[in-house]
Amino acid sequence: MSETRTTASATVAATPAPGPRVGLASAIAAVAAGQLGRVRVARGPLLVVATVQSLGLVILLRGIVHHHDSRTASAIVAGSAVLVVAFVSLNLLAQRLGALRATTALDYYAALPIPPAAVVLGTAAAYGLFTLPGAVVTASVGAAVYGLPFGQIWLVVPVVLASALVLAGTGAILGLSMPRPELATIAGQLGMTVVLFLGIITPARLPDAVQALRDIVPGTLAVDALAEAFRVHPHWGGVIIRLLITVGYGAVTLAVASRLFRRAVDR
């Protein structure tokens, strides 16, 4: 009996106590830094592709826009800039998380002493920040090509950050909810295509039914906010409201993605 108690006591003593969990803000920063370093190495060429693709759209559509049609020109430039974000934060993130889910590699992140939400938020932040140079280049070149004012070009930074929240959240939802990585890839590409077409086409030229659909598509309000900044007299109230709604929409998508992450690692 004494030997049994001694063995049991030794077993309990040998079991390491779980370490303290890292705070949410510190965990998000750590995950974002790690993912950003990985994305720079593994996805760097794809950012170049995304930027060249958007610049190609800007130059291609220049031939059909008249010099006085600044509304269409601003929509094209703004939509092309946000398209860089959609290519990486929505499309590539959906593919990445879909592949991690299929190979059960998400268990590694679940074993870390960090909140599950930090994994999703940190990854989304990394993919969003990664797109900033490409979006800035696209917006700057587009403004020069179409003769748009540069006075508010700085607004591309908050627009990219806001759109990255909602598009990365959407990409995470697609990647974590699809049963197969191939379906996550298809869903990510289709989502990017929707952002492309509904972003570069001005709302006034869309049918009423499509306009209603456009308002709920992630990222389109951020496109409208950036397009407003390219006008001579921007309506700043509308810009702020669109960005706030986009951030709120992004918070909802990231919350849903965090719940899907928990489900994926609990299976």
Mean pLDDT per 10-residue interval, the chain, length 267 residues: 43 44 73 76 76 90 76 90 91 87 77 78 83 92 91 91 91 90 91 89 82 84 91 88 93 90 78
Q: How far apart (Å, rounded) are the C-alpha atoms in residues 211 and 29?
A: 37
- Per-residue model confidence (pLDDT) at position 232: 79
- Phi and psi angles of residue 163, each rounded to the nearest 5 degrees, phi first: -70, -30
Q: How far is CA 141 from the centre of its chain?
A: 22
- Phi and psi angles of residue 59, each rounded to the nearest 5 degrees, phi first: -75, -40
- Per-residue model confidence (pLDDT) at position 43: 65
For 219: left if phi > 0, alpha if psi spans -120 to 50, otherwise beta; the answer is: left
**Tokens 């709604």 belong to which residue?**
245
- Per-residue model confidence (pLDDT) at position 11: 41
- Per-residue model confidence (pLDDT) at position 119: 81
What is the pTM assigned to this prediction?
0.84
- Per-residue model confidence (pLDDT) at position 122: 85
- Per-residue model confidence (pLDDT) at position 263: 83
- Using a 10 angstrom Cβ sphere, with 0-12 exposed, 13-18 middle and 19 or more buried, the burial of residue 82 is buried
CA dihedral 223, 229, 233, 235 (to 10 degrees): 60
Q: Where would I find the H helices in the chain?
A: 2-14, 24-42, 44-60, 70-85, 93-102, 106-110, 116-130, 132-146, 156-177, 181-200, 208-214, 220-229, 236-266
- Per-residue model confidence (pLDDT) at position 107: 76
How many CB atoms lie under 10 A from the CB of residue 257?
Answer: 28
- Per-residue model confidence (pLDDT) at position 22: 60
